[in-house]
Amino acid sequence: MPQLGFGVFQVPDDEAQEAVTTALTAGYRSIDTAQAYGNEAGVGRALAASGVPREELFITTKLWNSASETWTRDAVLREFDASLDRLGLDHLDLYLIHWPRPMRDDYLTIVRVFEEIHATDRLRAFGVSNFGPAHLRRLRDETGIVPAINQIELHPYFQQSEARAVHAELDIVTEAWSPLGQGQGLLNDPGIGAVAAKHGVSPAQAVLRWHLQLGNVVIPKSVTPSRIRENLDVFGFALDEADLRAFAALERGGRVGPDPDEFDAG
User: What amino acid positions are annotated as catalytic residues?
Assistant: 37
Measured CA to CA, the distance from residue 186 to residue 198 in angstroms comes to 17
Residue 205's Cα: distance from chain center in Å? 18
User: Percent helix, strand, coil in the chain (nearest 5)?
Assistant: 45, 15, 40
Measured CA to CA, the distance from residue 250 to residue 186 in angstroms comes to 9
Measured CA to CA, the distance from residue 249 to residue 247 in angstroms comes to 5
Measured CA to CA, the distance from residue 58 to residue 66 in angstroms comes to 26
196, 198, 200, 205: CA torsion to nearest 10: -20
Closest to 37 measured CA to CA, from 69, 55, 15: 15
What's the CA angle centered on 33, arms 27 and 39, to 5 degrees?
105
